[in-house]
Structure 1
Amino acid sequence: MNKIVIAIDGYSGCGKSSTAKAVAKKLGYTYIDSGAMYRSATLHFLDHSVDIHNPQEVNAHLDQLNIRFKINPDTGYQETYLNDRNVEQDIRNMRVSNYVSEVSTIKAVREALVAQQQELGKEKGVVMDGRDIGTVVFPKAELKVFMTANLEVRALRRQKELEEKGQIVVLEDIIKNLADRDQTDSNRKESPLMKAEDAVEIDTSNLKFEEQVDKIVQVAQEVLGKIK
């Protein structure tokens, strides 16, 4: 059976990760959370007080990043492990969110993690989401999707997500965080957030979660139908 690489890019809070997970599950593909990889690197740097403006310090710690994904047998959900430690909850808090975009601009960090991501996608049959998946990581992906949504809608979604994890954050703080990340991600020198020319754009502002998942699955099936 033919398999493809599905690259999903877009702004923070568009539901990229949850959508990518659901798409992968429906297609029987492997989900690779590139955002979790950058968050894990950020967590590591914060926990070890790494000066991210010092190239030598950064490079010294890149070799210490062993990031893997494992399915929790109790929940069936994929979780992120950093050096054999489950960091799924830790990487989602605001402490990491406030620094992940800055860490993501570091060339050495991007090169190290992109190499890991490309290795994970060699066999195809993967769904990966992030900000440069269709433009840098998998420029030849058979299906590229670019997700977008209204800023306030994204902030409300992120607030709900944090509340479900027991974290209470003021909406205005989330809006500022997302706006700052949009600015940083879109204007960074290394692999800026941008829509690939051949990407299918999906505005999720007024879509239910199931609708955006089904839309991507439908397009993927159309692409698969054209592969001989």
Structure 2
Amino acid sequence: MNHTPSIPVLTIDGPSGSGKGTVGQLLAQRLGWHFLDSGALYRALGVAANRAEVDLGDKAALARLAMTMDIHFRPRSGGDVVDVLLNGEEVGDRLRTEESGRRASILAAIPEIRLALLQKQHSFRQPPGLVADGRDMGSAVFPDAILKVYLTATPEVRAERRYKQLKDKGFDVNLRRLLDEIRERDARDAGREASPLKPANDACILDTSQLDISGVVERVYGLLRERHRPG
């Protein structure tokens, strides 16, 4: 499914808390394109592994689980939220915890897991187009994307965003601990051998530290229109 250059792809990569998920969802709705939150695939795999009592060190079992789990994204009307369906069950809130993010970061560093999920990621590339957010969408998964964007922000800003997001959802969180976890995850993601976190060579890098979500959406939409005229 990846060998379909006629189907345009916009990739939005970046570290946790850079705003890529919300920006990607809003752009997908605006364009009428499909949406892929690649991080949710790894988070969902962590949930599925926990339910199936599969150890995170059992690479073969995890790879089998990755290939067989069924995951879909269902946009909610008029908002920047998508429901995440894992084997038919909505698990979105369960995927947004810091523990879920920690497990996802561990899974994403395993080459066998990345390979198992690659075909599943490619399957989201369907007409009229795809907005894919993650950490290596432009550099590894969709290298022929018509526009590759890399969003970043300071760790402090990203921690504050995550703090507010989780507080609004009723989670009991600590800002200092969030900041430490973000820094640890940045180091782990950037240092891993399998698709380390870094911009694609031809990515447009955008620092969102001083921008709100609507400002980022407009900037990325403007860049896209320079390269592709959405129908």
TM, length-normalised to structure 2:
0.91
The equivalent residue for 2:101 is: 97
Q: Which amino acid aligns with 2:223?
A: V
1:187 pairs with one of 188, 191, 203 = 191
Counterpart mapping for 1:52-201 below 5 A:
52-72=56-76, 77-123=81-127, 125-201=129-205
The equivalent residue for 1:38 is: 42
Pair 1:18 & 2:31 matched = no
Q: Which amino acid aligns with 2:16?
A: S
Q: Which amino acid aligns with 1:199?
A: A
Alpha-carbon distance in structure 2 between the residues aligned to 1:164 and 1:218: 30
Q: 1:91 to 1:49 in 2, by over 3 A?
A: same
| Deviation sequence 1:28-49 (CA, Å, 0-9, x none) | 2111111111110111122333
| Deviation sequence 1:72-119 (CA, Å, 0-9, x none) | 469784211111111111111122122210011112221122211112
Structure 2 unaligned residues grouped into runs of 5+: 1-5
Alpha-carbon distance in structure 1 between the residues aligned to 2:152 and 2:66: 31
Structure 1 unaligned residues grouped into runs of 5+: none
Superposed CA RMSD: 2.0
Alpha-carbon distance in structure 2 between the residues aligned to 1:139 and 1:124: 18
- Deviant stretches of 4+, over 3 Å: 71-77
Alpha-carbon distance in structure 2 between the residues aligned to 1:75 and 1:202: 23
Q: 1:131 to 1:124 in 2, by over 3 A?
A: farther
Q: Which moved more, 1:67-76 or 1:163-172?
A: 67-76
Q: Which moved more, 1:35-44 or 1:91-100?
A: 91-100
TM, length-normalised to structure 1:
0.92
Alpha-carbon distance in structure 2 between the residues aligned to 1:217 and 1:73: 20
Q: 1:201 to 1:79 in 2, by over 3 A?
A: same
Q: Secondary structure at the match of 2:131?
A: strand
